[in-house]
Amino acid sequence: MLVLNEWYARGGEDANATSAILPQNDATRKVREGRANELNAVNVAFLRSLGCVVKNRHGERHFKYSDEIRIPIQQQDLYTLPCESFLYIEGKFATRESAKEDTAKEGTAKEVTRAKLVNNCVAFMFDEIRYELNGVEIDKSRNVGITTLMKNYASLSYERDRVLQNTGWEIPPIALDDFNFCVPLNVLLGFCEDYKRIVINARHELILIRAHNDNNCVVAHSNQRPKITLLRIQWRMPHMKLNDKLSLLRTLDSGRYLSMGFRSWDLYEFPLLQSTTKHSWAVKAATQLKKPRYVIFALQTGRKNVPSEDVSKFNDCKLTNVKLYLNSEFYPYDEYESRF
């Protein structure tokens, strides 16, 4: 179950909300000059984009499983637009089938079923993504593959779906050896999707946790032993040029409170359902700070960490009815009574 929570952080009376954005030693909880300040993007013009390249650690040639990959942007005098930033990823996809193909070329007739990357494969390459401003965690996503898959299935339009093919979304069913993808952060994190204003006077850092294996990224037979090797990861952040710097300086000098509201994406899993026809699941108890706005519910069985199954597909599991209880209210009011 994917829950989209609304965060509305600002200075002043919402001190708890602001603590998620400002360092803990800032007693005033105010977003002022020297902090993450914002300006409506209407008054800015695009200048150029900066590519921040991750250096492979200890001279290694690729990123290993479970690696923590940190991509910092240290310059704090830039007018950056995180909602338009994206990840550029290069890598190789190899299986044991290449040896079978060589044997077939030598005269042995053998049918080869090629492995392929699943839908949303880039997100499945990572277990966790975190976004930090000035060393403080702003937003994060665990189980990135399933979380973004459910969210984008429900929210992407047909036109947007076609545009995102180069991000690994709905890629053609062909086998890839060398690949490169450009993935906008607004399809991976709620902060980058909702917060569409510039951020200045802030140090940005993106933390990626590599997955333990590639089982969820591919569809292949077990004897093919698919392996994905990531060779390059870049975070490209647009720089903005202000049309009217005087307005920004006045905003900074005024000390006015600036809000940074967005919706975070939380994934909740129930790994083993009971063998009964009815089941009740107490998902979470939410505070006023994190108010649930949308809930996406899905069922899946026998796909997670199974290379021969496509993890980007879901199952109906003979579901006939489902209701969501929020305090004393429930949705939908009528019986669902589905028949798959």
Q: What is the DSSP string of 235-255?
A: EEEEEEEES-HHHHHHHHHHT
Predicted pLDDT of residue 316: 86
Q: How many domains does the chain have?
A: 1
Q: Is residue 206 a part of any domain in this protein? A: yes
**13: DSSP letter:** T
Residue 126 phi/psi, 5-degree rounding, is -130, 140
Q: Is residue 199 a part of any domain in this protein? A: yes
State yes or no: pLDDT of 130 exceeds 90. Answer: yes
How far apart (Å, rounded) are the C-alpha atoms in residues 137 and 188?
15
CB 40 within 8 Å of CB 251: no
Q: Is residue 20 a part of any domain in this protein? A: no
Q: What is the average pLDDT value for the chain, to the nearest integer?
A: 76
Q: Is residue 202 a part of any domain in this protein? A: yes
pLDDT in tens, 280-298: 888 887 777 777 888 898 9
Q: Is residue 81 a part of any domain in this protein? A: yes
How confident is residue 7, by pLDDT bands cut at 50, 70 and 90? low
Rounded mean pLDDT, 183-204: 90
Predicted pLDDT of residue 97: 57
Rounded mean pLDDT, 256-260: 75
State yes or no: pLDDT of 50 exceeds 80. Answer: no
Domain residues for 201? 2-9+60-97+115-331
Rounded mean pLDDT, 56-60: 46
Predicted pLDDT of residue 45: 44
CB-CB neighbours of 285 under 10 Å: 5
Q: Is residue 191 a part of any domain in this protein? A: yes
Q: Is residue 259 a part of any domain in this protein? A: yes
Output the furthest CA–CA distance in the chain (Å, rounded).
Answer: 79
| Contacts of range 315-322, beta carbons closer than 8 Å, 24 or more positions apart | 316/340, 322/297
Q: Is residue 229 a part of any domain in this protein? A: yes
